[in-house]
Amino acid sequence: MPLRKTILGLALLLTPAAIAQPAEVALATWRAPVQLQPQQRYEHYQRILLSCGAKPAPGELWVLGLPSQLSSKTCFVVLTPEGQVHEFDGTSSPNALSAGTYLLGQDLKVVGQPQTDTGLTINSEEFRNLTGPGAFRFALVNVWQPAPEAPSVTPLIPSIPPASAGLSERFNYYQRLILARGGKLTRGTTVLGLRGISPDGRRHPSSDNIGAYDDTYVILRRDSKGQPQLSEFLGSTHAGDSSDPSVPQGVAQLRPGHYKAQPYGHHHQMPCWLVVNHKGSKHVRAARDVDADGSVSPDEVQLAEGRGTTASDILFHNGIWEDRCASIGCLTMAPDTHSAFVHALGARTPFDFTLVDANEPIDLSCSTYTLGRSAQGRPLNMYVLGSGPKIALLFGNIHGDEPAGQDLLVRLKRHLQEDPARLNGWQVRIMPCLNPDNSGRARTNPRGVDLNRNFPALWQLSARDDEYSGPKPLSEPESRCLREAALGLGLGPAGRVQRILSIHQHRGIPSGQGMLDGDGPSDSVAPLVAAMQEAAPDRLTAQKIADSHGRVRIPGSFGTWVSSREISIPTVTYELAHGDSPENSWAWNRAVLMSFLSNP
């Protein structure tokens, strides 16, 4: 599709007074440093959004404008609901727009404002595809103010998990590497390439462009029951023989990133796969060993990035060439290992491929998983902090008109990231919002189903009121995602959780107060409830909370399902008051939330 100019016709709302202005803060200081990982880049720009008065909510798409006050250059940053960041260069009229937040409609105009010919211009069809055709939020920054401090890079080097680690722990670690490097998790097969480290943990420079098989390939998939499967293979993710005179401009080395691999017939009687980019083109990002010294230097990488260098016909194959070294510009394994790879993968199985430089620092403080989509297609995200066998799940906003848990859990996530020691050895999984379509609007999801009446235990078909149970158990995508999160299935990290905290709101609770409701095995739940109540004994009561009909074991509720004999996970429902400010709620409840993680 040809590029066409997109004009964001933003109205001139305020004309800056003709007064002396301070020297402009460099626009570059506002942009996320290139060394940050995807999650850090996203959080950097979210901080800028908040400085504009924006209030980003789950499921919303935002565009952030960073205009230069001394030229027409403007950087536009698209923040997708999936937590991805896309930057675009554009132009704007200097001093023409006031900082603030706006709503843009399908025609990319400010809703309810008069239109002008001056505004912000972006020459990118990719930008239009990301932002249209629906309405989205836009924030314009005042770049005269100091830029927010960017987060530091966590100096953690990717490694091979020890043999003593369990299958779920190893599986989860590799998943987090993929997400941290911008890869994706799908319900299909994923292959992770670790350049610079072999399966036995031995390292070598990842820039080496020649050599034997000394890297790692990892196949990640799940069986028909959703249980994780993992296989590791010794291979080569470098390009190969840089001295071959028949290869122009040196041998191409695939750049770290996310790709697809599709079946491509056979290479010397063995199945092979063609590596393509996310748009399906076989021209993939690459750097070339131009001086043929056997490694790709930082200067050669910079040259390749500046020129947009690509390579084509990159294959996964069995490392056999008729008259030259194996792995000439391809991704290879020795023939016997390749046979085992094919057996584990399937000869005609396409897969997602993420290549990681195992010698570059990576931030694993928090990983974001999109477990599925809501009824209206919004992402249902789960954040994972920490690692290890002890797993806790916390979720909120299963009822759209009970949104306090969403803000509380986002603040808890930041609190835990600030000091990982606060995790107390737990792997903490947080789903702030289970009902993004109707968050802050209605109790049910858009299809009129009370998600907390849609679970299998004691389920019964109910009247179509605000507690409608749905046409059948787990009929709703949101309840299915929560079930998979609790059992460690689907696209999320593997491993069944050991305890769950569900945050609700109750209109009968006075401001600043709260109630605790326990479900599951009493010998496990009682200590949890007691520890939380002890953190705020003057504010919390511990009891079974009946619903409006006076029932205790509520048909189809999450609590009833999770306490059933076949599930039996200790679960605490934390009922908050309505009307408390987010700041007060966090101040009152931080110690209570932390007590949930402190009890062994």
The per-residue pLDDT for 507 is 87
DSSP assignment, residue 566?
A: T
Q: What does the alpha-carbon distance between residue 252 and residue 97 come to, in Å, rounded to a whole number?
A: 46
What angle, 0 to 180 degrees and rounded to 10, lies between the N-to-C axes of helices 38-51 and 167-180?
60
* The token pair that represents 236 in the structure block: 């080569």
* List of residues 6+ apart from 314 with CB closer than 8 A: 252, 254, 274, 275, 282, 284, 286, 329, 330, 331
Residues of the chain with pLDDT under 50: 1-25, 95, 106-118, 150-153, 325-327, 545-551
Q: Which residue type occupies 327?
A: S
Q: What residues does CATH 3.40.630.10 cover in the chain?
A: 367-598
Q: What does the alpha-carbon distance between residue 146 and residue 142 come to, in Å, rounded to a whole number?
A: 9
Q: Which of helix, strand or coil describes residue 339?
A: helix
Q: What does the alpha-carbon distance between residue 178 and residue 185 come to, in Å, rounded to a whole number?
A: 8
- Give the predicted TM-score (pTM) of the model: 0.72
Q: What does the alpha-carbon distance between residue 543 and residue 452 come to, in Å, rounded to a whole number?
A: 19
Q: 75 with 87: CB under 8 angstroms? A: yes
Q: Which residue type occupies 458?
A: L
* The token pair that represents 370 in the structure block: 């999109």
The per-residue pLDDT for 2 is 39
The per-residue pLDDT for 479 is 97
The per-residue pLDDT for 253 is 87
The per-residue pLDDT for 121 is 73
C-alpha angle 405-407-410 in degrees, rounded to nearest 5: 105
DSSP assignment, residue 108?
A: S
Say if residue 307 is exposed, middle or buried (CB neighbours under 10 Å; 0-12, 13-18, 19+).
exposed
Largest CA-CA distance found in the chain, in angstroms, rounded: 82
- Using left for φ > 0, alpha for ψ between -120 and 50, and beta otherwise, residue 95 falls in left
Q: What does the alpha-carbon distance between residue 74 and residue 94 come to, in Å, rounded to a whole number?
A: 10
Q: What does the alpha-carbon distance between residue 553 and residue 230 come to, in Å, rounded to a whole number?
A: 40
Q: What does the alpha-carbon distance between residue 154 and residue 367 come to, in Å, rounded to a whole number?
A: 13
pLDDT in tens, 123-168: 777 887 887 766 678 888 765 555 555 444 455 789 999 888 889 9
Nearest CA to 220 out of 242, 193, 244 is that of 193
Q: 529 with 542: CB under 8 angstroms? A: yes
Peptide bond into 133 cis (omega under 30): yes
* List of residues 6+ apart from 390 with CB closer than 8 A: 425, 426, 427, 498
What architecture (CATH level 2) is domain 367-598?
3-Layer(aba) Sandwich (3.40)
Pairing of strands 257-267, 284-288: unpaired
Nearest CA to 378 out of 401, 352, 397 is that of 397
- E-strand ranges in 269-402 read 270-276, 284-288, 310-311, 315-317, 331-332, 351-357, 367-373, 379-385, 391-396
- Distances in Å between the Cα of 574 and the Cα atoms of 75, 514, 547 are 43, 7, 14
Q: What does the alpha-carbon distance between residue 103 and residue 60 come to, in Å, rounded to a whole number?
A: 11
The per-residue pLDDT for 38 is 74
Q: Which of helix, strand or coil describes residue 337?
A: helix
Q: 30 with 65: CB under 8 angstroms? A: no
